[in-house]
């Protein structure tokens, strides 16, 4: 479907065509007409499907035809990085229009905070915000959203995973009851449906089946003991085969520790996590995008908050808890029909997770032999989903050794 068929505002369409976009993606074809009809909408679509344009384009088209535009639209996002990416798309699409936008997120200095307050007093068309910092502006009375026309929750499932449920409910209490509400989520668990039932009015629903990993991704699995993970990655990452690498770990603390371990091994890497200041995070992402930093380590939040072309390798240091997160993670590579590699390290405890992933993608992932110098890999017994879970061993009370302090098993 050609974007011209939506009869967008000429200035908005000119910006769209100038960016080289001609045909709408499936989610855009379904969502844009519903939003233009001012329907509430809950849509299940993952990153990379064009979902941002699916809500920005119709809302910006309505803004272009509105006279009273003071604080017209609020877009809530889970992370600063995603908020910034949305704002960049607004800037690009609005190049030939006079639509204005403002990003609101924490981590900046006092000057940035005052600039946000001044822009809010003057009024902007679109506010893109993370929940925490937005609440501080609403509580202080600086920001008034009583005339808001559109509310968008982007990556709603990720916001709930990060504990923003109460913040979202509090923000909504400042908004007019009569408004258009649009919710996008990569997954649709019960907690999302519960939130939707409280925020949306007779919503239309769109659900796109989660797409399979791109054909250009070479998916590989190494069966390993925990103490073999770091030595294996060290040998893989020190080759010249991969130039741009993302390593995903399960927790922020593990991300920090891996960063230290890899740097001690002589690998040029940075750990990307929420304890960093905003300027540090932006500097790290910029170096990674500019190929000045070859290895970036982060959690699942990074899998949806970064859009960088040319990533050669994605490593799952820990198997993701949710099979759909596996698709999000490895989707950072082989974008735009390029090639890429995804390596997942699987210990004995994570066989159930691996089985769930292979069921979702309808494919068995290739098993790779462990290098001989690392010792024997754990035996891979075929996973039986009907088998009872093994009982947990009682805590001995002894301090546990960290995986990065263990030595590889001798052969």
Contact criterion met (CB below 8 Å) for 333 and 342: yes
Contact criterion met (CB below 8 Å) for 323 and 357: yes
Domains, the chain, ordered by start: 3-207 (3.40.50.300), 217-380 (3.40.50.300)
Residues of the chain with pLDDT under 70: 47-48, 107-110, 209-211, 301-307, 335-338, 381-411
Nearest to 262 by CA among 298, 303, 287: 298
Q: Strand (E) positions, 279-339?
A: 295-298, 313-316
Contact criterion met (CB below 8 Å) for 189 and 218: no
Cα 283 from Cα 293, distance rounded (Å): 10
Cα 268 from Cα 294, distance rounded (Å): 7
Cα 223 from Cα 368, distance rounded (Å): 8
What residues pair up with 220 in beta bridges, in sequence order? 343, 366
* Amino acid 411: pLDDT: 44
* Amino acid 41: pLDDT: 96
What residues pair up with 296 in beta bridges, in sequence order? 246, 270
Paired tokens of 226: 């925990």
pTM over 0.85? The answer is no
Paired tokens of 36: 């233009």
Q: Tell me the Cα Rg of the chain.
A: 23
Nearest to 299 by CA among 281, 323, 273, 322: 273
* Amino acid 358: pLDDT: 92
What residues pair up with 23 in beta bridges, in sequence order? 2
Cα 255 from Cα 317, distance rounded (Å): 10
């Amino acid at each position: 479907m050609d974007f011209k068929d939506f009869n967008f505002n000429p200035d908005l369409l000119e910006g769209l065509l100038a960016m080289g976009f001609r045909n709408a993606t499936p989610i855009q074809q379904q969502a844009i007409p519903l939003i233009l009809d001012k329907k509430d909408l809950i849509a299940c679509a993952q990153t990379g499907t064009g979902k941002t344009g699916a809500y920005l384009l119709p809302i910006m088209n309505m803004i272009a035809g509105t006279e009273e535009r003071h604080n017209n639209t609020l877009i809530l996002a889970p992370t600063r990085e995603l908020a910034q990416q949305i704002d960049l798309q607004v800037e690009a699409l609005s190049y030939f229009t006079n639509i204005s936008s403002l990003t609101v997120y924490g981590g900046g200095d006092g000057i940035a905070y005052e600039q946000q307050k001044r822009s809010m007093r003057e009024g902007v068309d679109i506010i893109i915000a993370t929940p925490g910092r937005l609440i501080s502006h609403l509580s202080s009375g600086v920001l008034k959203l009583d005339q808001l026309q559109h509310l968008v929750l982007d990556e709603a499932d990720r916001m709930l995973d990060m504990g923003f449920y109460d913040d979202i409910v509090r923000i909504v209490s400042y908004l007019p009851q009569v408004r258009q509400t649009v919710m996008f989520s990569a997954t649709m668990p019960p907690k999302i449906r519960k939130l939707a039932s409280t925020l949306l009015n007779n919503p239309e629903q769109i659900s796109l089946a989660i797409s399979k990993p791109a054909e250009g991704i070479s998916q590989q699995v190494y069966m390993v003991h925990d103490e073999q993970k770091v030595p294996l990655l060290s040998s893989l990452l020190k080759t010249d085969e991969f130039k741009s690498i993302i390593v995903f770990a399960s927790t922020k603390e593990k991300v920090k520790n891996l960063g230290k371990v890899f740097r001690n091994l002589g690998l040029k890497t940075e750990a990307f996590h929420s304890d960093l200041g905003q300027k540090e995070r932006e500097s790290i992402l910029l170096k990674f995008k500019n190929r000045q930093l070859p290895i970036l380590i982060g959690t699942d939040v990074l899998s949806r908050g970064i859009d960088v072309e040319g990533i050669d390798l994605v490593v799952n240091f820990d198997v993701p808890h949710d099979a759909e997160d596996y698709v999000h993670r490895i989707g950072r590579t082989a974008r735009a029909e390029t090639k890429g590699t995804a390596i997942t390290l699987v210990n004995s405890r994570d066989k159930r997770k691996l089985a769930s992933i292979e069921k979702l993608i309808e494919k068995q992932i290739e098993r790779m032999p462990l290098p001989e110098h690392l010792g024997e890999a754990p035996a891979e017994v075929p996973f039986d989903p009907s088998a009872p879970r093994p009982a947990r061993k009682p805590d001995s009370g002894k301090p546990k050794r960290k995986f990065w302090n263990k030595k590889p098993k001798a052969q």
